[in-house]
Structure 1
Amino acid sequence: MLVYCFDYRTREFVGACELGPTDVDPRNPDAFLVPGNAVADPPPALEDKQAAVWGGAEWSIVPDHRDEIWWDQGGRPVVIEELGDPSALGLSPDAPPPPIPEIARRQLRLWMLNAGHDDAAIRAAIATLDEPDRSHALIEYEDATTFQRSHHLFDLLGPAFGLASADIDQAFREAALL
């Protein structure tokens, strides 16, 4: 008789085995003694990244992402060790984007120039801001030696150049290469 074994802890299918003469029930010679971690019902057919799990009455199919690296909401890698859907735990299979680099004044100005925005255009955009943002932006633009994407003035000035927040992120990444 062929039986289908499952792991005691995870209850996932681990293989089939054939019961032999030593497994015959001594009280009923027409029956076999089936081990506690085996059933006569075959598991369902599986696709990649799936496991069959015995639920007590039938098999179910669950996601199997063990040994994969997923990412938590803080961008930290997590090695999956258990059966199930890691996204239900708030994990993502996609690595977070690289951090947005700090750029030098030269890189910012070169990127803007390459995008068709010269010094006069930048100053004109700054002039459209209300005070005190206008004065802060002008001081930052004229005096800062490095720029960080997290500075709120970039989100204030971006729309003047047709740049959404994601565009500004990408601009910083591109400027860092100049």
Structure 2
Amino acid sequence: MPELIPPTPSVHMPALSSRQIRLGLVNGGFTMAQVSAVIDAMPDGNEKETARIEWEYATTFNRTHPLIASVGAALGLTDDEIDAKWSAALTL
């Protein structure tokens, strides 16, 4: 039986602006408090502080950034669901 290769997020998806990603999350039924809670739940240290800075101060977000995968997973989203929400947010 061939080994299954796990799906990877599309590297061809355009970046989202800070506004687009936030509106996309709200349109998808999520709150900014939920995203903050995911970051707050990370173990204290450099990774948590970096994630907080990225979320609060980034002006654009790339689909392949590790923060997108970790927050998406914590919100219960699959890669395909993240891709779909990302595509929808591109129109905002």
TM-score of the aligned structures, taking structure 1 as reference length: 0.43
Alignment correspondent of 1:134: 48
Letter in 2 for 1:168: I
Q: 2:31 aligns with which of 118, 123, 128?
A: 118
Q: 2:78 aligns with which of 164, 168, 175?
A: 164
How many residues align? The count is: 82
Which structure: greater helix fraction?
2
Distance (whole Å) between structure 2 residues aligned to residue 172 and residue 106 of structure 1: 12
**Where has structure 1 moved over 3 Å in runs of 4 or more?**
none
Higher relative contact order (CA 8 A, sep 6+): 2
The Cα of 1:146 is off from its aligned counterpart by 0.5
Which structure: greater strand fraction?
1
Whether 1:146 aligns to 2:60 is yes
CA RMSD of aligned residues (A): 1.7
Unaligned 5+ segments in structure 1 are: 1-96
Unaligned 5+ segments in structure 2 are: 1-9
% identical equivalent positions? 35
Compare CA radii of gyration and give the structure with the larger one: 1
The Cα of 1:98 is off from its aligned counterpart by 8.9
The Cα of 1:138 is off from its aligned counterpart by 0.8
